[in-house]
Amino acid sequence: MSQKQYWKGLEEQQGTEAHKVAASNEFSEPLPFDMSEGLLEAQTPRRDFLKYLGFSTAAAMLAASCEMPVRKVIPYAIKPEDIIPGVPNYYASTFVDGGDYCAVVVKTRDGRPIKIEGNDKSSINKGASSARVQASVLNLYDTARLRGPLADGKEATFEAIDRSITASLASSKKTVLLTSTVLSPTSKNAIQQFLAKYPTAQWLTYDAISYSGMLLANEASYGKKTLPAYHFENAKTIVSLGADFLGTWLSPTEFAKQYAQGRRVSAKNLEMSKHYHVEANHTITGAAADERATCKPSQMGAVAVALYNAIQTGATPNLGTEKLNALVKNAAADLKKGNGLVVAGSNDVAVQTVVNAINSAVGANGTTINWAVTSNYKQGIDADFVGLVQAMNAGQVDTLIMQNVNPVYESAMGDQFESGLSKVANTITFASHLDETAQKCKYIIPDHHYLESWGDAEPKSGFYSLMQPGIAPIHKTRAYQDSLLTWAGATETYFNQWEAYWKNKLGGQTNFDLALQDGVIEPEQETMGGASFSGNLAAAMQQINATKAGKTEVVVYEKIAMGKGGAWSNNPWLQEMPDPISKATWDNYACVSPKKAKELQAELTSITEVVAAKTVIKIKIKGFEVALPLVVIPGMHNDVIAVALGYGRSEKIGRAAANTGKRVAPLMHYNGATFVAYNDVTIERTNETYEIAQTQTHISYEGRPILHEYTLEEFKKNPNELIEERAKEIGHFASATPWENHEGGEKEAIDANKLAEDFRVNGTLYPNYEHLGVHWGMSIDLNSCIGCGACVVGCQAENNISVVGKHHVLKSQEMHWIRIDRYFSGMPDDADSIQTVFQPMMCQHCDNAPCENVCPVNATSHSSEGLNQMTYNRCIGTKYCANNCPYKVRHFNWMDWNGADAFADNLYEDGRRDDMNDELTRMVLNPDVTVRSRGVMEKCSFCVQRLQEAKLTAKKAGEPLKDGAARTACQQACPTDAIIFGNVNDKESAIHKVRHEQQKERLFYVLEQIHTLPNVNYLSKIRNAEEVIGGNEVKDGLMNDHI
């Protein structure tokens, strides 16, 4: 190419001098800066004026309105291999809290865990989870967690602490390692290495919620100091003597899953287990039971003996109340038919021995109780602990190392333990919080949260589960196994040992990787095995007969949300989760029967139920008294007071835990062999009151057809009863009216689906909207629902639902998108007559939604897929939609719960919930769900973000949406599979099958007759009982007495 020269003019071509000068100047003309004196005197005042105006406006805008807050966003310099921003990663792991176990899948977004789900691959929990498992992710971001090791209350380095501990351990004459139940085989290895290094060291296991009674009884009865594996799914008859196996007993998530299998009735499958339940207080297991009776906790042994005698000799029980006698008699008869299972919640060796004898007698061992596989959930023996307390107080212990125990708070002997602690020279704890015991310890070396840990668990013999972290340790914490290994002088870290152990056991890297991916390593089939009873039944019976009942007894129980306390006490989600039975939040209290309340001049009526200030009573035992407000719970034994663990903690555990309720552990007592959770007490009314924040105050469903209950017999006799009831209400919209058919004398079966379809089309003046394509629907089985609340917390975690604090719960301003309504029926004075039903209630996504047409600004509208959607940006907060919602499931953002509105300093603060807005805690928020601002309405969205994700995935793959690809958070959390969700237009979907084939007889819609056309249906409750009391005006005294 030729280098052509182009020139702009003759000057350039000729290269004149003048041009050279001009070209050397960048700007050929003088710049239009006007240096004249004033603006108006300038040569071009208009243009300058505009310039100045423009500049000053821009400057003012910059200065005034563009003060952007500095947000720390750090991009990846090198993108980690697995992390794609906006795309979640899932890791199989294991939830372990002492002996509480759940195989889980951890959802992480951008490197932070945000949601926990049950692991479907586990044969133990089979994808189920509990409220605590769901909430455990929040504990990871707990601001009250210790941020590093402490020595004598001061920050210290691991090296310094290790040095001084190693030195003192070497000279320690007696070292005790006190742990809660350890499920992990590799941790046990680490402990063994430690024990090997220090031969004087002793390892003791202590469980705050003790099962020593069972362990010892099993040792005496079967020669095995262990717990068997239970199989509620195999049981035709279940008898529970105070064991809350669906809520808190041993492994409730596992048992709930099994139990639900025996409770799924349909017109085609009329088989259903029969569940007898005896208890002192009211638990969700009692609520699920078919026949329920109450007794004092001290009399549980007598009930067991009566049951044994009734089975063996057919002796008529004589236990005081008619219902209890009948229950024992019928239970005995049913147990004899085989496939029976008896469980007892008592921690008394004698009671458990009798229960073992019964299980042997009815052949439970080998069918419903498996002795070939043992459960490892609880291993602590109370006597060991009591021995330790004595040794400590005698000054015989030099070093005490504690892992996941907090005896000062948890134990009935907390005071003695505390005084003993002061006599121990070296006290070391791995506590994550500065808890009651840690406060007294010399060294605190905080352990990782399980979501930061490598590890494993063997919940049942031969069943393994691996634990892998979802995030690097947030604080300066160290795995307790590493601490022990360091002190043992091991050269390898716990992680290395763990990895080597599993690679070795599984045979190579590939298998190891696969196992890590699956999370569980389990045998194909669980082998069943029995055991024969060889215990001393006579002695046990004698001991039981010698037990005297107190006039008034107290039962110390675990709340589903709170358990023994621990770190859960500082979990705002769990604090605000309504207790399934009492519906109370943020507190513990004394549960009493309506009759007892009347005696204490604190009667519960429809007028007084709205008063939150509850009368305070004093509960006294020798040397200890506690004042708690009373909450009336129908179904409580009249002479029993029930109080919950997990409260009465200090600011040091965290702000959510602080200053609420009372510590009640001292009300338990040591009977010489085990700790038992009841005591004789005296109670005294005070004139004080205390406000309890309950989310539900009315206890009766008033016999309204918002839920339907039948006995199994009624259902067998006429499975179509519910359809007939529905037809009576809405049948006149059918083209061929049902009464015309009936008049002919011959009763023609009503087609349930046609009934609903006719009503949909004819029940309105407006044209019918055809729902083509996807049409989402949900079905909730009231028979499977046990009211455990896992869905409530699961929903809260998934959908960024705000915690509002006690003050606003008191004002009924809580935000839970799903609530579980709990209804009692029966006679208030007769605890044994009470039947309890749970009904989960969330947005029904009505196809003819009353909320939608009243919104003045169209902020809530219907999608073509049948979703009732909220447009937060459009909402102006008139609350008209909430008023017009017949289900009352809409929740308003009353305050600035989470700093998401335009006002700078109006974040709602109440002390106890404030950590929810900490920068650390906010890491738990789900980025897929908008954090709602103050002043807008919100409600269940059917987890629309999950639905969208599933649809997009299917679209990308070029396939139709598969059933089960989209699961709602509540559905996934539910341990009993009570919730089924899917596309009702898909004929192959589970929801379609439930509605049109399997369960059309039990199906109903709440408030169907007002033509809201809900997309949520319920399945009627079938009780395998003699009668259903709810709504029976003669027998359901709560309905009428209650005005």
Residues near another protein (CB under 8 A) = 606-607, 609-610, 696-698, 700-702, 704, 706, 808, 811-814, 819, 821-823, 839, 841, 850, 853-858, 874-880, 882-884, 886-896, 902-903, 906, 908, 933-937, 1006-1007, 1010, 1012, 1043
The DSSP line for 836-851 is: EEEEEE-----TT-HH
For another protein, the closer CB: 448 or 890: 890
Minimum gap (Å) between residue 886 Cβ and another protein: 5
SS (H, E, C) 600-660: CCCCCCCCHHHCCEEEEEEEEECCEEEEEEEEECCCCCCCEEEEECCCCECHHHCCCCECC
By C-alpha distance, which of 426, 493, 490, 487 is closest to 198? 487
For another protein, the closer CB: 439 or 1012: 1012
d(CA 101, CA 119): 12
d(CA 194, CA 462): 25
Q: Structure tokens of 1018? A: 């319920």
For another protein, the closer CB: 265 or 841: 841
For another protein, the closer CB: 216 or 693: 693
Please report, in angstroms and rounded to a whole number, the separation of the first and last CA atoms in the chain.
103
Q: Is 772 helix (H, G, I), strand (E, B) or coil?
A: coil
d(CA 212, CA 223): 14
d(CA 222, CA 529): 12
- CA distances for 787 relative to 33, 130, 781, 977, angstroms: 78, 11, 11, 12
By C-alpha distance, which of 233, 234, 241, 284 is closest to 259? 233
d(CA 957, CA 598): 65
Q: What is the chain's length?
A: 1043
For another protein, the closer CB: 563 or 1031: 1031
For another protein, the closer CB: 126 or 816: 816
For another protein, the closer CB: 228 or 1031: 1031
Minimum gap (Å) between residue 570 Cβ and another protein: 24
Minimum gap (Å) between residue 906 Cβ and another protein: 6
Minimum gap (Å) between residue 794 Cβ and another protein: 20
Minimum gap (Å) between residue 689 Cβ and another protein: 16
For another protein, the closer CB: 354 or 699: 699
Q: Is 556 helix (H, G, I), strand (E, B) or coil?
A: strand
Minimum gap (Å) between residue 564 Cβ and another protein: 29
Strand order in the sheet with 150-151: 154-155, 150-151, 443-444, 426-429, 399-403, 175-179, 201-205
Longest dimension (CA), the chain: 132
Minimum gap (Å) between residue 833 Cβ and another protein: 19
Which regions of 362-405 does DSSP assign to beta strands (E)?
369-375, 399-403
For another protein, the closer CB: 323 or 891: 891
Minimum gap (Å) between residue 726 Cβ and another protein: 16
For another protein, the closer CB: 549 or 907: 907
Question: φ and ψ at 563, to 5 degrees?
Answer: 55, -140
Minimum gap (Å) between residue 854 Cβ and another protein: 5
Q: Structure tokens of 477? A: 């914490």
Minimum gap (Å) between residue 1031 Cβ and another protein: 11
- CA distances for 24 relative to 6, 27, 28, 493, angstroms: 18, 9, 9, 72
Query: Please, are residues 214 and 342 in contact by the beta-carbon 8 Å criterion?
Result: no
Minimum gap (Å) between residue 481 Cβ and another protein: 47
Q: Structure tokens of 307? A: 């049951």
For another protein, the closer CB: 637 or 1042: 1042
For another protein, the closer CB: 227 or 810: 810
Q: List the Cα angle 295/301/305 in 5-degree steps.
A: 110
For another protein, the closer CB: 338 or 703: 703
Minimum gap (Å) between residue 583 Cβ and another protein: 9
By C-alpha distance, which of 487, 475, 458 is closest to 155? 475
Minimum gap (Å) between residue 126 Cβ and another protein: 29
CB atoms inside a 10 Å sphere around CB 110: 16
For another protein, the closer CB: 894 or 981: 894
Query: Please, are residues 1029 and 1040 in contact by the beta-carbon 8 Å criterion?
Result: no
What 8-state DSSP symbol labels residue 39?
T
Minimum gap (Å) between residue 266 Cβ and another protein: 26
For another protein, the closer CB: 741 or 884: 884
Residue 383, C-beta contacts closer than 8 angstroms, at least 6 positions apart: 212, 673, 674
For another protein, the closer CB: 931 or 965: 931
Question: φ and ψ at 204, to 5 degrees?
Answer: -120, 145
Minimum gap (Å) between residue 846 Cβ and another protein: 10
Minimum gap (Å) between residue 941 Cβ and another protein: 17
Say which amino acid occupies 348: D
Q: Which residue has the tokens 């019928």?
A: 330
For another protein, the closer CB: 881 or 969: 881
Residue 469, C-beta contacts closer than 8 angstroms, at least 6 positions apart: 91, 93, 448, 451, 452, 453, 454
d(CA 335, CA 153): 57
For another protein, the closer CB: 619 or 846: 846
Minimum gap (Å) between residue 1032 Cβ and another protein: 15
d(CA 573, CA 940): 17
Minimum gap (Å) between residue 699 Cβ and another protein: 8
Q: Structure tokens of 840? A: 């989960």
